[in-house]
Amino acid sequence: MAVSVISHESDMQTACPISLSTGLRGSASRYGTLIRAKALPGFRSELSQKHSMMAPRIVVKPPGPRSRELLSKQEELETRAVVYSKAFPFAIDSAENATIKDVDGNLYIDWVAGISVLNLGHRNPEVTRAVVTQLEKIWHALEIPTETRIGFLERIHSVLPTGLRGRAKIMTTVTGADACETAVSIARRITGRSTIVAFEGSYHGVHQGAVSLTSSRHYIDYAGVPRQGVFRLPYPYSYRFPLPVEKKGDEGKVVLSYLEHLIEDEHSGLDDLAGIIVEPVEGEGGYILPPKDFMPGLREIADRAQVPLIIDEVQTGFGRTGKFWGCELTGTAPDIMCVSKSVGAGIPLSLVAYRSEYDKNLHEGFHLGTYRGNPLAMAAGSASIDYMARNRILDRVTRLGKKTKDEFERIAAKSKNIAEVRGVGFMIGNEVVESKTTKTPSRALAVEFRRRLFESGLLMHTCGHYGNVLRFMAPLTIEEPLLEKGLQVFEQNIPKQGS
């Protein structure tokens, strides 16, 4: 069986460069004349071009009558605990790359991407072909090898970050929380200890094991279990850091220094340290990019303490930051890495990559799951890795991400309520406040802005410690004119100073 694999990150930047057909600022308008950009390979269908040219298009104020009917049926038949249909009250008919059409004929620009699950867009044709081909063979195979399974494993090994590439084992799981819970189980198993250091604002899932790692109190309350085996520290969140610093950018140093103290002082209360789990960019916590010294500093501390550094790449992985993995932004090598979301391109799949020497401590049946390593998801994952390599997606994300962040910063400078823009690549947060002077977070305003954007045909979701951050997480393949139009809609719906 011949399998094309990628041996190094530089190989992700090979053929088919994607040129910028128009800047985000042009002479004809603030966003330039919206011309047809060069389409990414695979997205040249008539439908894709039509959607990218027409969106956003609102023909009836959402939710329209058919959407309301289906939302009502959902409320009747499904749990009231659902979340996303309340944030975005419509019913979906179809989707294409970075557009979604509802059942009432409205066409939206998608800056949500299924919460960073659809990095290569809705129904990427190359991924679709791979899934359909696999569908005609077998779609459930337990852990028994198939050519698809081995091909996927070879590809995922080839793109692992330095420190794991060439010296890792893979354990397949099903969800992001499943991966994080498994990673912590591995750390506890190999060290024989129990306490995991995690961070404020973290989100590692809501399974009854993983929920202790997630910082939010209400998830613990919902799970009905006590928080245990976790010691929590502040994340270096510059805009709202709770401890004094000499200057902005020193937040990481303060956290690292305190962690060193906790480990060294036997009276600190940090007992039986088994590992450190961290997101290289905090996702649900507010799209917080830490200072550059933070992740390498954690690596050094983990080495000195002889415990594994667990890096949660569930949301940052598969190119969202402009690197294949978020940890590559600072060259920080994980001992254990959690992967999910875009690895299956929307089909449930997750995995844990860990140092191969840990494997001797993991006995047969260490972690079980009937649905682990689904063949359809693995076919999608292989196609995704190949597509990213051929089309220089990382380079595209870096280039367009910078321009997009610049535009958000320009809009924020004129706005009444966006106090900070932060992030990297296609992972950008806009922090919403009542006043830039008081810095009081405003979830209510963020929700109101989300509603306005939705009614104008732009899907953008919230996150953050206070639910007050509007986050940009569009598909990495979004057409440039569509990105520009999205920014125009965003600017039109954010109040300016003096308004």
The pLDDT of residue 413: 97
Q: Are 243 and 318 within one domain?
A: yes
End-to-end CA distance of the chain: 64
Confidence of residue 40 (pLDDT cuts 50, 70, 90): low
Residue 362 in tokens: 């993991």
Q: Are 239 and 249 within one domain?
A: yes
Q: Is residue 122 part of a domain?
A: no
Per the prediction, the chain carries an average pLDDT of 90
The CATH number linked to 93 is 3.90.1150.10
Q: Are 401 and 372 within one domain?
A: no
Query: 342, 355, 286, 294: which is closest to 314 by C-alpha?
Result: 342
Evaluate if residue 37 carries a pLDDT over 50: no
Confidence of residue 410 (pLDDT cuts 50, 70, 90): very high
The pLDDT of residue 407: 98
**Domain closes at, from 390, 408, 428:** 390
Question: Which 3-state string (H, E, C) describes the chain?
Answer: CCCCCCCCHHHHHCCCCCCCCCCCCCCCCCCCCCCCCCCCCCCCCHHHHHHHHHCCECCCCCCCHHHHHHHHHHHHHCCCCCCHHHHCCCCEEEEEECEEEECCCCEEEECCHHHHCCCCCECCHHHHHHHHHHHCCCCCCCCCCCHHHHHHHHHHHHCCCCCCCCCEEEEEECCHHHHHHHHHHHHHHHHCCCEEEEECCCCCCCCCCHHHCCCCHHHHHHHCCCCCCEEEECCCCHHHCCCCCCCCCCHHHHHHHHHHHHHHCCCCCCCCEEEEEECCCECCCCCECCCCCHHHHHHHHHHHHCCCEEEECCCCCCCCCCCCCHHHHCCCCCCEEEECHHHHCCCCCEEEEEEHHHHHHCCCCCCCCCCCCCHHHHHHHHHHHHHHHHCCHHHHHHHHHHHHHHHHHHHHHHECCEEEEEEECCEEEEEEECCCCCCCECHHHHHHHHHHHHHCCEECEEECCCCCEEEECCCCCCCHHHHHHHHHHHHHHCCECCC
Q: Are 400 and 369 within one domain?
A: no
Q: Which range has highest mean pLDDT (151-160, 205-214, 215-224)?
A: 151-160
Work out the average pLDDT over 427-455: 98
Q: Are 72 and 180 within one domain?
A: no
Evaluate if residue 20 carries a pLDDT over 60: no
Evaluate if residue 136 carries a pLDDT over 90: yes
49 contacts: CB under 8 Å, gap ≥ 6:
36, 39
The pLDDT of residue 41: 59
Evaluate if residue 47 carries a pLDDT over 70: no
Dihedral-angle region of residue 288 (phi above 0 means left; psi in -120 to 50 means alpha; beta otherwise): beta
Evaluate if residue 22 carries a pLDDT over 50: no
The pLDDT of residue 307: 98
The pLDDT of residue 25: 39
Q: For 134-138, 209-213, 272-276, 443-447, which range has the lowest pLDDT when averaged over its residues?
A: 209-213
The pLDDT of residue 45: 53
**Domain closes at, from 341, 375, 390:** 390
Q: Are 324 and 179 within one domain?
A: yes
Task: Give how many domains the chain has, as a whole number.
Answer: 2
Q: Is residue 212 part of a domain?
A: yes
Q: Is residue 199 part of a domain?
A: yes
Q: Are 350 and 368 within one domain?
A: yes
Q: Are 74 and 216 within one domain?
A: no
According to DSSP, the residues that pair with 273 across neighbouring strands are 195
CA 218 remoteness from chain centre:
21
Work out the average pLDDT over 259-279: 96
Q: Are 257 and 352 within one domain?
A: yes
Q: Is residue 159 part of a domain?
A: yes
Evaluate if residue 28 carries a pLDDT over 60: no
Q: Rounded to whole angstroms, how far apart are CA atoms 459 and 113? A: 9
Q: Are 198 and 97 within one domain?
A: no
Amino acid (one-letter) located at 349: L
Q: Are 229 and 347 within one domain?
A: yes
Work out the average pLDDT over 242-247: 94
Q: Is residue 325 part of a domain?
A: yes
The pLDDT of residue 5: 37
Task: Report yes or no: 95 and 101 within 8 Å, Cβ to Cβ.
Answer: yes
The pLDDT of residue 49: 65
The pLDDT of residue 9: 42
For 74-110, the pLDDT digits (tens) are 999 999 999 999 999 999 999 999 999 999 999 999 9
Q: Is residue 499 part of a domain?
A: no
Amino acid (one-letter) located at 76: E
Q: For 12-26, 42-56, 129-143, 483-497, which range has the lowest pLDDT when averaged over its residues?
A: 12-26
The pLDDT of residue 499: 67
The CATH number linked to 322 is 3.40.640.10
Q: Is residue 299 part of a domain?
A: yes
Q: Are 162 and 202 within one domain?
A: yes
Residue 272 in tokens: 């039986």
Q: Is the backbone peptide bond immediately before 56 cis, with ω within 30 degrees of 0?
A: yes
Higher pLDDT, 228 or 480: 480
Evaluate if residue 204 carries a pLDDT over 90: yes
The pLDDT of residue 368: 84
Q: For 4-8, 416-420, 436-440, which range has the lowest pLDDT when averaged over its residues?
A: 4-8
For 343-397, the pLDDT digits (tens) are 999 999 999 999 999 999 999 989 888 999 999 999 999 999 999 999 999 999 9
Q: Is residue 4 part of a domain?
A: no
Range of the domain at 335: 127-390
Q: Is the backbone peptide bond immediately before 63 cis, with ω within 30 degrees of 0?
A: yes
The pLDDT of residue 39: 56
Q: What is the pTM of this model?
A: 0.90
Work out the average pLDDT over 197-204: 96
The pLDDT of residue 282: 98
Work out the average pLDDT over 302-319: 98
**Domain closes at, from 390, 411, 438:** 390
